[in-house]
Amino acid sequence: NTRMGVFATRSPFRPNGLGLSAVELERVALDEPDAPVLYVRGADMVSGTPILDIKPYLSYADSYPDASGGFTGGDAGETLTVDFPPELLARFDSGQRHGLISALAADPRPRYQDDPERVYGMTYGGRNVRFTVSDGTVHVIAVEG
């Protein structure tokens, strides 16, 4: 539980929306209203996020077959149980619920914090999900927005 900087991790609390992803270029549409439109697959971003720059894959420079997870150890860690009151869960579309519960189960808190009294917040689907964590369980207490 070493404290790490926001740029050294995949923290959801980055100060800007800029992300980096290696993607597969599916096709380029030249006949659409906002052409050219790039269709990509495998992006680590929300659908509709603007792509600011794209570079070609260079196998001699972009392939790292012996890469490791460094300080992360490659282990996702244990998942938490999620206690989500049905009336709060109903505020999300059925298609969003699984992803939200999975994100909460992965424990989105900073690793160095373990205060059962602290109320944490996480933005998901345009809403602020407020929760506490105690004894291996995420307790969702409010959904704002």
The overall pTM is greater than 0.95: no
Assign a CATH topology to domain 81-144.
Answer: YaeB-like fold (3.30.2310)
CA distance 101 to 140: 10
| pLDDT tens track, the chain, 145 positions | 677 776 666 666 666 666 677 788 889 999 999 898 888 887 777 777 777 778 777 777 777 677 666 655 655 668 999 999 999 999 999 989 999 999 999 999 987 888 999 999 999 999 999 999 999 999 999 999 9
Determine the 3-state secondary structure of 135 from DSSP: coil
Determine the 3-state secondary structure of 120 from DSSP: strand
CA distance 128 to 121: 6
| Residue for token pair 């600011």 | 52
- Domain regions of the chain by residue span: 1-75, 81-144
What's the pLDDT score for residue 141?
Answer: 98
Per DSSP, 17 falls in state S
